[in-house]
Amino acid sequence: MAFLDRIGIFLSHVFLVPEEAPQFQELFIDKNPYYQEQMGEYWHLDGTFVALEYTDVFKAELEAYKYYSKKHKKEVLLPKILECFEFFCLENTDRDAIVATIPLHIFSYLKRGYNHSELLAKGVAKVEGNIFLPLLRKSRMTKHQAQLSRSARLKNVRNSFSFRTKYAHDIQGKDIILVDDVISTGSTVNECAKLLKKHGAKRVFGLFLATHVTTS
């Protein structure tokens, strides 16, 4: 190997070149009217707030954060979901709204080492001054939702979550903001919202990083 090549490799390790900031496609929409039209009385969310379009750029960033232990990607994604929070939640939810998230099954959690959505939810709660509570538990393993049809997704998540009863007093009459990465058919978050309302939540809102614009 040539001397100059060695110098180049050495310098590349010593002086790390910062990653170029990804260019996301912003949406900042409330997708609730779409889901209400699709599901009618079976839709349980009171707002479905989404920050970004699900593009190839976003997918690459999310998969690195979600599946490949790139926890630092949270610092790229968190500002977008915070902006969405401030655009919608400050006006539409109570000031003392509780921030929660969609839980992972324990096996998935152990495999990944963390819940990517929970890290985002805690980040939102910390910056905005809300309380974060782990209100739900994933009590049954399910298939990966992305590989299923709409009807199969609904069946897949049915009765797959449980409420942590020690928080029953905390959520009575309260607004809940459920933070998650992506919303597609809405079956997962809808199941969670139904469960939270059953245990006393006043209203439940979803706060998401991204969605596919084709279903908006």
100-146 pLDDT, tens digit each: 999 999 998 999 999 999 999 999 999 999 999 999 999 875 656 56
Dihedrals phi, psi of 53, to nearest 5 degrees: -80, 140
179 close to 117: Cβ distance less than 8 angstroms: yes
pLDDT for residue 215 is more than 50: no
The position carrying tokens 């998230």 is: 101
Q: What is residue 158's predicted lDDT score, i.e. its pLDDT?
A: 72
The rounded distance, in Å, linking the Cα atoms of 169 and 88 is: 26
116 CB-near residues (< 8 Å, 6+ apart): 65, 66, 74, 181
Structural domain includes residue 150? yes
Domain of residue 100: give its range: 24-215
Q: Domain holding 101: CATH number?
A: 3.40.50.2020
Separation in Å, CA 88 to CA 11, 79, 184, 194: 46, 14, 19, 21
Rounded mean pLDDT, 87-92: 97
Structural domain includes residue 50? yes
Q: What is residue 120's predicted lDDT score, i.e. its pLDDT?
A: 98
Q: What is residue 183's predicted lDDT score, i.e. its pLDDT?
A: 96
- Across the chain, mean pLDDT equals 88
Token pair in block for residue 183: 């919303």
Give me the residues paired with residue 7 across strands.
none
Give me the residues paired with residue 69 across strands.
none
Q: What is residue 21's predicted lDDT score, i.e. its pLDDT?
A: 86
Structural domain includes residue 211? yes
pTM here is 0.85
58 close to 208: Cβ distance less than 8 angstroms: no
Q: What is residue 3's predicted lDDT score, i.e. its pLDDT?
A: 52
pLDDT for residue 20 is more than 50: yes
30 close to 49: Cβ distance less than 8 angstroms: yes
Tell me the three state secondary structure of residue 158.
coil
Give me the residues paired with residue 36 across strands.
none
155-186 pLDDT, tens digit each: 666 778 999 999 999 999 999 999 999 999 99
What's the domain count of the chain? 1
Structural domain includes residue 115? yes
Structural domain includes residue 8? no
Among 209, 188, 186, residue whose Cα is nearest residue 61 = 209
Structural domain includes residue 18? no
pLDDT for residue 9 is more than 70: no
